[in-house]
Structure 1
């Protein structure tokens, strides 16, 4: 079990990364966004088939890297995503989550998706945090770059560094991104993310 010194180092690294990455504190599934915009879970005993299917995908190391839930607005996709995050979090496999919302500042700007996922991944994995810190020291202006370069520097490079050095001594991590249609110009960030997922360069998403 980590001692207080370990926690102190982790907190300092997290603060340093937070200062360098313009991330959203309201985008994670468990963020307090107020009663008016509260995110909801599936009612107990409902949507069990798809929830079980997603958990099966999430725990399969040989399965596809990406899982898409498509459907019309109001069909319950976000509640499924919320319940999935809750289960993954309880298992210790939720590495990051970004819930887009056109009603919430910080959750509707595509520019925040990639830095926020990187920040949360660094909070999830200390080794990812170390790799990301090195990347940021080499590319201090990465926040001003286009999404394709941000995906490469902030997500792919540190993740591949862990893979290369066989340092992923954790359960199979999963990243959740929800309600992409509520994010402005999201296709700008979605293209590079999709390419990275399809080429197995990132955690399951």
Structure 2
């Protein structure tokens, strides 16, 4: 239920909501002036609870709390647009009224300023001035009211974005990539591997057919080991498999895909890592799972929020054990995505479970650290 609600949110409107401070001195003065002994039994404890509430509001509005930061992360990860309306007119402070009691008859104050009303999510937040005070900011006078027309226009934008969900895809930003350094040259289609051989058409049909049968099998085991003595073309086969199952090859290219049947239409290359002895980025496994995670995020943008969350929770994840990296950056995000009712790819909508991803890892024996081989 909560997941459905979360996925359905496309935009949020805030009206005079304080994220960085709020003026409550007048309310505090009112509480201090109350003689609790004069209150009825029904109001017993009102002063104490009032001060506790003010203390809580001061704390929450005076700093970026964990709750606020978590909310900000969700907004950024899921590209939810925020419209923060702030008041431009002052409101009279609460003050004692002649003859007893309290009312808004004090000095004019700006209860929630423009600075306080902002979450500072530059890409997804738009601060908007409302020609009103703290009491009237949501009391719209007519359909011609400036705030009303602004809300209407922003709602139209939200609707347009919702009807075209693939227009902007989430991605890992530079801050994320600094925390999970990856090997750019490890992918099968990298510049460094552009001239590495692949199988010629109508050759190596038997091993390629075996791999396809394994990939499309509903009861398949999770790993297909391609083994053989050195020089028998294992890397050539691996590159061919990676190329032919890649999304770019399936959606239109000159690549010969005769060995891929209709049953393999929903099987795509998720990521590839080709080790190579003597190359600093590719002769050890230190960047194996960070690289796979980055490539997966590019193939399935829906994984980005989960990978981002893992990085935020463990900023030093790249220094952890390979097992921990695999768990947090690859396994957990894929598992969480598969548990959703549905998700879309950059090409089309698919139901969870209908999309299979291949991870191609080649020449593990070229890791310079034997312990890496033992882990693999």
Q: TM-score range by the shorter chain?
A: 0.7 to 0.9
Q: How many residues are matched? A: 185
Q: Where does residue 175 of structure 1 map in the other structure? A: 359
Gaps of 5+ in 2: 1-163, 251-266, 344-349
| Aligned mate of 1:121, from 277, 281, 296 | 296
1:187 & 1:55 partners in 2: Cα distance? 31
1:188 & 1:166 partners in 2: Cα distance? 37
8 Å Cα contact 2:364/2:373 also seen in 1: no
Q: Where does residue 234 of structure 2 map in the other structure? A: 77
**Structure 1 residue 189 displacement after superposition:** 6.8
Task: Determine which structure has the larger strand proportion and give its number.
Answer: 2
Q: Secondary structure at the match of 2:225?
A: coil
Gaps of 5+ in 1: 195-205
2:213 & 2:278 partners in 1: Cα distance? 32
Further displaced range: 17-26 or 158-167:
158-167
What are the equivalent positions in structure 2 for 1:117-196 lying under 5 Å apart? 117-167=292-342, 169=350, 171-185=355-369, 187-188=371-372, 191=375
| Aligned mate of 1:53, from 210, 213, 218 | 210
Structure 1 residues 34 and 83, CA gap change in structure 2 (3 angstroms): closer
Is 1:40 the counterpart of 2:197? The answer is yes
Normalising by structure 1, report the TM-score.
0.81
1:186 & 1:42 partners in 2: Cα distance? 30
Report the RMSD for the aligned CA atoms in angstroms: 2.2
8 Å Cα contact 1:22/1:112 also seen in 2: yes
Structure 1 residues 93 and 14, CA gap change in structure 2 (3 angstroms): farther
1:98 & 1:186 partners in 2: Cα distance? 18
Runs of 4+, deviation exceeding 6 Å: none
Task: Determine which structure has the larger helix proportion and give its number.
Answer: 1
Look at both structures and tell me which one has the larger radius of gyration over its CA atoms: 2
Normalising by structure 2, report the TM-score.
0.46
